[in-house]
Amino acid sequence: MRMFSYIDPTIRARLVAQGRLIRVDSSGAVLAPDAVSERPGAILNVLGPIPLPMDVAGKQETFKWYAFVRHTELAEANRIADALRGRGEQHLFSVLSNNMSVNSVLVMGDLREAENPLVRVHSCCLTGDVFGSMRCECGPQLQRAFKRIEAERCGAVVYMSGHEGRGIGLWAKAITYVLQDAGEDTYQANRSLGLPDDSRDFSDAATMLLHLRGDKPMRLMSNNPKKHQDLRAGGLNHIQAEPHVTGVNAANLRYLNAKRGWGHLLDLDEINPVDDGKKE
């Protein structure tokens, strides 16, 4: 089966020949370009590295960008693309994004050979990462992760695009905000909608880190013990907890207290609970 029916197959062949488009299994091992599996959901299609100049705290730094998507999701997008092309409706290709969570890894330096690099596995947050919302600490956490990696000249940020609202999606997240404004905390609001407290899946993040780094020591910038547990379950046996507290302000203090009650390692007594709102 072709990997991309909506891109000229000759381009796919060129990318495969260059080693820029590969498939990896759940252990991070490279597979044959057209490999199939009894567990196709465990196969990732990986595109990269792509040089990506970025502004990190006012300085231009170039990271290596890898985009990755599950084979099952790409196959479904492939099927829809074929159907749309057959009906002459290529202008509707935007619906393909509904069937693919294209995630990313941004790498600085030699991740495989580094002694003990910093790593951040970050769940996408449109309101925090893009809009600059102060209802959560996501934006400051992402920015601080890049700053810390830049300071050490090596590390990686894994950006999980399908994790909005701890996995419930942007629309449901917006509704939970309304419920929170009526008095519920972030977890109670999820439960009111009949949704899990946290439905995120970090297995693909673990696969990519195994592919790029191997099962070697890494310092994971996270205050969430569940994230550590999930990544270990994915085969990363040598990750170390690295506290990553930042972005605390009056607007998100109740939210952070709820996270602490749920198990996040947040000692709010040791930090100023109200800052000036500026991101690090």
Question: CA-to-CA distance for 234 and 230, rounded, in angstroms?
Answer: 6
H-helix or E-strand spanning residue 55: strand 44-56
Q: How far is CA 93 from CA 97, 120, 206, in A?
A: 8, 32, 30
**Do residues 15 and 33 touch, judged by C-beta distance below 8 A?**
no
Residue from 129, 185, 198, 204 carrying the catalytic annotation: 198
Structure token digits, residue 134: 């102060």
What's the number of CA atoms in the CB half-sphere (13 Å) around residue 93?
Answer: 12
* 40 upstream amide cis, omega within 30 of 0: no
Cα torsion at 198, 204, 206, 208 (round to 10°)?
-150
**3-state SS, residue 106:** strand
Residue among 140, 155, 126, 271 nearest 219 (CA): 155
Question: CA-to-CA distance for 176 and 192, rounded, in angstroms?
Answer: 9
Residue from 144, 200, 213, 219 carrying the catalytic annotation: 200
Read off the amino acid at residue 240. Q
Residue 254 falls in the annotated catalytic set = no
The sheet carrying 30-31 orders its strands as 30-31, 21-24, 44-56, 59-70, 103-108, 155-160, 118-123, 218-221, 239-242
Residue 267 falls in the annotated catalytic set = no
Tell me which residues are annotated as active site: 198, 200
